[in-house]
């Protein structure tokens, strides 16, 4: 066993796995250190990947050459495309996964990545060299006393830093139920000069499916024509016959009264928990306080795998005493005899405000040190994996002296995520929403590969096989787009189809793109009624996803062009640099708040400065005038 590596990644959660594989595939010699190799990429909370905005992130990870989409496809037990009733910018893929298979597949990826080595241990200290502005990382020390050396370290510690689990008045030190906490790193980082904080998250009870009366619950099936996450032909959509249903249940007034009876012992309400929790994913006790007028809340029972009876109760996160949880659950129709495999719990953990990072996710205080995942105040597997990928890529590029890899806000949801973190910071666990992206019509899930695969190719994560698939798809989309814009349609060609769709008939010849631009018209359906189009699609072997992408581009052409124009205008501010080390306090024309915020966050461009909360348009004008713009 060697003690010298190029990069050390601490933690084998979703961030750590992506970081380690990306860095190793780019040529670095990587050591991944984790407390338990059996819990690689464990789905600590719900057994699902994707969802609103999160699904877009997973497709972006895949387009760049990451692994989450492939692993998800190979462990999917149900697939749904959310938001289909809304515009294409809101369509978001989501997959229920077999969580044991998901973890096992990730372990297989790690063990079969050349240049990537594993070590099971707990990291308790960091080694540094130099001082002041020249401070740099040099390695780590583990609980077993092993000292590993590297010029770059990526910390992806999840909820394990000083983790404290709460179930009623009971407290257990740990980063996950049944697993110990990580100690020592927070103290080390604070001593260096990092600001630390405390956050809280929670998870519901797990239920034994043998004790659930599913006949009294409503099924929620997957899509009849399921899709998948990865753009790679290596994976296939889950077969319809292999999909497992989720189930819908509901709380009641009686259940709410049972829950309220335990509020005195709730660590959320009696002051025990001081960490800030996620506002958008509240516990059931938070829901009863916030929505006191509601008599019922919808819950979802989600299967955790094909070979287990364990179910995850989505919507019932709780830290109430286990006796209260059990009594309340048994008041829900269909769960009268339910057996708890384990109760829900809340967990507090340390994090470090991400305004202490560059856009590469390298820390500003210590050269060679990267943070990714929940250590930055985020929540969610997808957000963590995206940060891990960015950190792993940039650690490798930094060591090799290459230009950093940074995605803009108009390029990717990942760009929005990172920019939000390092520019705005967090005051609660950060979760991605479509509303956070001002260019969400550009950042759709269907075009993630067209947006980002060339970027992945540039840095070396997209191999020849994937690149060939990408080029073929790009060619198919372009040829179909040209064909649809060029093909003329006579008034009688689609009369019956237009009538069946309650669409106005043609009174004169029009281009096919004019017809497809109508909201009620489907390009794939038109192909069934229009032989020239059908023959073109068949002879060129154009896939259903490619047909859908062309249809989206045609229907939203005006909106897409408008967003591109806005993005181009705002990009000018991103191209105006602010000199490193500039003294913002010297500009008395800036408001006091702006001087303080700018001095703390140290933006590198005028564009980044404009997004800092508390920096007004008037302050930006001052900067533009000062820098002669």
pLDDT digits (tens, 9 = 90+) for 227-252: 999 999 999 999 999 999 999 999 99
- Cα 127 to Cα 186: distance, rounded to the nearest angstrom: 14
Q: Residue 369 pLDDT more than 70?
A: yes
**Structure tokens that stand for 519 in this block:** 């909201």
Contact 95, 71 (CB under 8 A): no
Question: Does residue 487 sit in the same domain as residue 610?
Answer: no
- Tens of pLDDT, residue by residue over 61-118, are 999 999 999 999 999 999 999 999 899 999 999 999 999 999 999 999 999 999 999 9
Mean local confidence (pLDDT), 322-331? 97
Contact 480, 540 (CB under 8 A): yes
Question: Does residue 325 sit in the same domain as residue 206?
Answer: yes
DSSP secondary structure, 288-355, as one string: HHHTTT-S--EEEEEE--SS--EEEEEEEE--S-HHHHHHHHTTSTT-TT--EEE--EEEEEEE--GG
Contact 231, 214 (CB under 8 A): no
Using alpha carbons, list the distances in angstroms from residue 418 to 15, 481, 608. Answer: 14, 33, 12
Q: Which residues contact 610 (CB under 8 A, 6 or more apart)?
A: 573, 617, 620
Q: What is the CATH number of the domain that holds 581?
A: 1.10.150.570
- Tens of pLDDT, residue by residue over 544-588, are 999 999 999 999 999 999 999 988 888 888 888 998 889 999 999
**What phi and psi values does residue 211 have, to the nearest 5 degrees?**
-105, 15
The DSSP letter of residue 201 is: E
- Tens of pLDDT, residue by residue over 441-494, are 999 999 999 999 999 999 999 999 999 999 999 999 999 999 999 999 999 999
**CB count in 10 Å sphere of residue 471:** 13
**What phi and psi values does residue 84 have, to the nearest 5 degrees?**
-60, -25
Helical (H) or strand (E) element with 609 = helix 606-610
pLDDT of residue 629: 60
**Structure tokens that stand for 366 in this block:** 């210590």
Question: Does residue 587 sit in the same domain as residue 516?
Answer: no
- Cα 205 to Cα 340: distance, rounded to the nearest angstrom: 7
Q: Please name the residue that has the structure tokens 């096919």.
A: 512
Model confidence at 23, pLDDT cuts 50, 70, 90, reads very high
Last residue of a domain, one of 323, 345, 367: 345
Task: Report if residue 89 sits inside a domain.
Answer: no
Question: Does residue 336 sit in the same domain as residue 220?
Answer: yes
Question: Does residue 510 sit in the same domain as residue 604?
Answer: no
Task: Report if residue 152 sits inside a domain.
Answer: no
pLDDT of residue 580: 86
Question: Does residue 501 sit in the same domain as residue 531?
Answer: yes
Mean local confidence (pLDDT), 600-605? 90
Tell me which residue of 486, 487, 410 sits closest to 447, measured CA to CA: 410
Task: Report if residue 368 sits inside a domain.
Answer: no
Q: What is the CATH number of the domain that holds 552?
A: 1.10.10.1800
Model confidence at 268, pLDDT cuts 50, 70, 90, reads confident
Using alpha carbons, list the distances in angstroms from residue 378 to 386, 434, 470. Answer: 11, 16, 31
Question: Does residue 328 sit in the same domain as residue 299?
Answer: yes
Give the residue with greater pLDDT, 573 vs 216: 216
Question: Does residue 206 sit in the same domain as residue 327?
Answer: yes
Last residue of a domain, one of 308, 327, 345: 345
**Burial track 375-394 (b if 16+ CB lie within 10 A, e otherwise):** bbbbbbbbbbbbbbbbbbbb
> Residue 538's domain spans which residues?
463-561
- Domains of the chain: total: 3
β 152-155/7-10 pair status: parallel
Q: Residue 275 pLDDT more than 90?
A: no
| Helix 99-111, helix 14-25: angle, nearest 10 | 30
pLDDT of residue 282: 85
Question: Does residue 529 sit in the same domain as residue 579?
Answer: no
- Tens of pLDDT, residue by residue over 280-308, are 788 999 999 989 999 999 999 999 999 99
Task: Report if residue 533 sits inside a domain.
Answer: yes
What mean pLDDT, rounded, does the chain reach? Answer: 95
The DSSP letter of residue 423 is: I
Using alpha carbons, list the distances in angstroms from residue 123 to 116, 137, 192, 228. Answer: 18, 14, 17, 36
Q: Residue 600 pLDDT more than 70?
A: yes
- Cα 268 to Cα 166: distance, rounded to the nearest angstrom: 9
Question: Does residue 254 sit in the same domain as residue 211?
Answer: yes
Task: Report if residue 388 sits inside a domain.
Answer: no
Dihedral sign, Cα of residue 214, residue 220, residue 225, residue 231: negative
Contact 23, 7 (CB under 8 A): yes
Q: Which residues contact 554 (CB under 8 A, 6 or more apart)?
A: 481, 484, 513, 516, 517, 523
Last residue of a domain, one of 345, 377, 399: 345
Helical (H) or strand (E) element with 31 = strand 30-34
Could you give the percent of the chain with pLDDT greater than 90?
A: 86
| Helix 68-75, helix 99-111: angle, nearest 10 | 140
Task: Report if residue 279 sits inside a domain.
Answer: yes
Question: Does residue 220 sit in the same domain as residue 341?
Answer: yes
Strand partners of residue 172: 165
**Structure tokens that stand for 71 in this block:** 């692993």
pTM of the shown model: 0.94
Task: Report if residue 438 sits inside a domain.
Answer: no
Question: Does residue 597 sit in the same domain as residue 491?
Answer: no
Q: What is the CATH number of the domain that holds 305?
A: 2.40.30.260
Contact 164, 181 (CB under 8 A): yes
């Amino acid at each position: 066993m060697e003690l010298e590596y190029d990069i050390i990644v601490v933690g084998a959660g979703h961030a750590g796995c992506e970081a380690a594989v990306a860095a190793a595939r780019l040529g670095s010699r990587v050591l991944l250190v984790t407390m338990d190799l059996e819990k690689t990429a464990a789905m600590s909370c719900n057994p699902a990947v994707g969802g609103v905005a999160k699904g877009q992130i997973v497709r972006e990870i895949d387009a760049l050459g990451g692994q989450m989409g492939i692993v998800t496809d190979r462990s999917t037990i149900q697939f749904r495309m959310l938001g289909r009733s809304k515009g294409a910018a809101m369509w978001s893929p989501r997959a229920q996964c077999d969580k044991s298979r998901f973890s096992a597949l990730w372990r297989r990826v790690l063990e079969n990545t050349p240049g990537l080595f594993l070590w099971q241990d707990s990291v308790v200290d960091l080694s540094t060299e130099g001082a002041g502005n020249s401070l740099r990382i040099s390695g780590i020390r583990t609980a077993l006393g092993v000292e590993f050396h590297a010029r770059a370290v990526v910390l992806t510690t999840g909820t394990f830093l000083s983790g404290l689990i709460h179930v009623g008045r009971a407290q257990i030190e740990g980063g996950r139920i049944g697993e110990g906490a990580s100690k020592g790193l927070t103290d080390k980082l604070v001593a260096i000069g990092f600001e630390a904080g405390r956050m809280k998250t929670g998870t519901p009870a797990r239920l034994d499916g043998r004790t659930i009366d599913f006949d009294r619950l409503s099924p929620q099936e997957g899509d009849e024509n399921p899709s998948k996450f990865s753009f790679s032909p290596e994976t296939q959509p889950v077969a319809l016959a292999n999909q497992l249903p989720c189930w819908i249940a509901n709380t009641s007034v009686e259940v709410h009264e049972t829950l309220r009876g335990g509020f005195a012992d709730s660590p959320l309400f009696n002051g025990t928990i001081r960490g800030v929790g996620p506002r958008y994913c509240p516990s059931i006790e938070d829901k009863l306080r916030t929505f006191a007028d509601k008599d019922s809340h919808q819950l979802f029972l989600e299967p955790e795998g094909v070979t287990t009876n364990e179910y995850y109760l989505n919507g019932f996160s709780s830290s109430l005493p286990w006796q209260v949880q059990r009594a309340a659950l048994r008041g829900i129709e269909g769960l009268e005899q339910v057996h708890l495999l384990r109760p829900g719990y809340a967990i507090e953990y340390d994090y470090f405000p991400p305004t202490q990072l560059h856009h590469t996710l390298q820390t500003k205080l210590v050269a060679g040190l990267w943070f990714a995942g929940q250590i930055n105040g985020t929540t969610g597997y997808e957000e963590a994996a995206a940060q891990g990928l960015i950190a792993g890529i940039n650690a490798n590029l930094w060591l090799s002296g290459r230009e950093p890899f940074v995605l803009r806000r108009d390029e990717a949801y990942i760009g929005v995520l990172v920019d939000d973190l390092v520019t705005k910071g967090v005051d609660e666990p950060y979760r991605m929403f479509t509303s956070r992206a001002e260019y969400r019509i550009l950042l759709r899930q269907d075009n993630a590969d067209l947006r980002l695969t060339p970027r992945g190719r540039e840095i070396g994560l997209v191999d020849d096989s994937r690149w060939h698939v990408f080029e073929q798809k790009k060619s198919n989309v372009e040829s179909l787009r040209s064909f649809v814009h060029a093909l003329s349609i006579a008034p009688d060609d689609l009369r019956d189809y237009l009538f069946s769709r309650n669409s106005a008939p043609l009174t004169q010849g029009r281009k096919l793109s004019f017809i497809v631009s109508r909201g009620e018209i489907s390009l794939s359906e038109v192909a069934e009624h229009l032989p020239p189009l059908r023959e073109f699609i068949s002879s060129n072997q154009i896939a259903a996803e490619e047909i859908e992408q062309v249809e989206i581009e045609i229907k939203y052409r005006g909106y897409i062009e408008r967003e591109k124009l806005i993005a181009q205008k705002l990009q000018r501010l991103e191209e105006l640099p602010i000199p490193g080390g500039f003294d913002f306090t010297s500009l008395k024309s800036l408001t006091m708040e702006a001087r303080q915020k700018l001095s703390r966050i140290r933006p590198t461009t005028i564009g980044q400065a404009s997004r800092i909360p508390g920096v007004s348009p008037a302050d930006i004008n001052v900067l533009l005038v000062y820098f002669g713009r």
